[in-house]
A = this chain, B = another copy of it.
């Protein structure tokens, strides 16, 4: 293994060995050589020399000169969650299909962090940005606008840029209906048995809450109040909310809607602190998808957004920017209990499967 840790070859190196000028080498290597009327012979020679010297373009230099970096960013609140990690996975696949290199970053649900993070992406001259679940989409928008950076909101809409979101209200209606019907089959159910936990003061939560209330009203024939508990996207705060409920009623609600899998983790923590209790009679809806949650010892209905469709529409918006900001809704999917859906990982064959183990 001759570890020739030579400094990386540049077009100037190739220009020397090929006898052509640097601009000719550049044109050949970036594919514009026909337009520049470089002879096929010269091109072939340079290409083979490039292969021989393991030439790789310095993309920083290219980006600096051409002001197109080939980078596309995705701003997430957090990675550590099935919803966003699946978004990252799908984003990466779609980006590389388009010849772009993805930069995924997280803003940790902190408006200042979000802006700092986006600024660093801008400093690296990314070409486009997907904004997912930002606490302050319009603040991020302003940064992008100032930098002339194309961007779309994903999953959480902003008022100033185009957005692709799941149809939260319709999904919430479907989810609420599903859990109420399931609970009604177990036994009689009143509106006071149906609650919602989680969420914050953002568009998605508001829509879901509206859908939740609409579905309840349609089934029970009356509007209900005091049946939601806002906890933010925090497992700890959600667990505390369940503790409070439990302290007051000595049980959990028969039937409840949880705003996201992060909040769902709060339910799990609550349960971990009540090892003796049985929670076999509850019916839960979760506006999010985690395959493990589907197999818990009580029925869990979930909503899974159609991530490939959402991101595809996002890329389409960037390709052909509409004159005015568009709001595109994508139908999410209702996942009944005990269902293990396929995910982005299933696109990957694992070839090692064929090799013998130890």
B-chain residues with CB within 8 Å of residue A269 when the two chains form the complex: 340
In the complex, 21 of the A-B residue pairs with CB atoms within 8 angstroms, ordered by the A residue number, are A3-B146, A58-B64, A59-B124, A60-B63, A60-B124, A79-B79, A80-B88, A81-B85, A81-B345, A108-B348, A230-B356, A231-B353, A232-B351, A233-B350, A233-B352, A234-B345, A235-B345, A265-B340, A272-B294, A272-B340, A292-B296
B-chain residues with CB within 8 Å of residue A82 when the two chains form the complex: 80
Could you tell me if A146 and B348 are in contact, using CB atoms closer than 8 angstroms? no
Q: How far, in Å, is A57 (CB) from chain B's closest CB?
A: 6
Q: How far, in Å, is A36 (CB) from chain B's closest CB?
A: 23
Could you tell me if B105 and A105 are in contact, using CB atoms closer than 8 angstroms? no
Could you tell me if A79 and B69 are in contact, using CB atoms closer than 8 angstroms? no
Chain copies in complex: 2
Interface residue A252 (Cβ < 8 Å from any Cβ of B): no
On whether A210 and B358 interact (CB within 8 A), knowing A58-B123, A236-B346, A294-B268, the answer reads yes
Interface residue A321 (Cβ < 8 Å from any Cβ of B): no
Interface residue A200 (Cβ < 8 Å from any Cβ of B): yes
Kindly supply a per-residue 1/0 record for chain A positions 278-303, scoring 1 wherever the CB is within 8 Å of any chain B CB and 0 otherwise.
00000000000011111111000000
A102 to B147, CA, bound (A): 21
Q: Add 4 more A-B contacts to A60-B64, A232-B353, A235-B345 (CB < 8 A).
A: A79-B79, A79-B89, A80-B85, A272-B340
B-chain residues with CB within 8 Å of residue A104 when the two chains form the complex: 79, 88, 104
Taking CB atoms and an 8 Å cut-off, the chain A residues in 80-107 that contact chain B are 80-82, 84-86, 88-89, 92, 101-106
Could you tell me if B80 and A345 are in contact, using CB atoms closer than 8 angstroms? yes
A160 to B234, CA, bound (A): 41
Interface residue A120 (Cβ < 8 Å from any Cβ of B): yes
On whether A125 and B58 interact (CB within 8 A), knowing A92-B79, A295-B271, the answer reads yes
B-chain residues with CB within 8 Å of residue A103 when the two chains form the complex: 103
Q: How far, in Å, is A143 (CB) from chain B's closest CB?
A: 10
Interface residue A78 (Cβ < 8 Å from any Cβ of B): yes
Kindly supply a per-residue 1/0 record for chain A positions 253-276, scoring 1 wherever the CB is within 8 Å of any chain B CB and 0 otherwise.
000000001101100110110010
Q: How far, in Å, is A177 (CB) from chain B's closest CB?
A: 20
- Nearest CB to that of A120 among chain B residues? B101
Could you tell me if B78 and A345 are in contact, using CB atoms closer than 8 angstroms? yes
Interface residue A206 (Cβ < 8 Å from any Cβ of B): yes
Q: How far, in Å, is A134 (CB) from chain B's closest CB?
A: 12
- Nearest CB to that of A229 among chain B residues? B357
Partner of A357, one of B69, B125, B228, B268: B228
Interface residue A205 (Cβ < 8 Å from any Cβ of B): yes
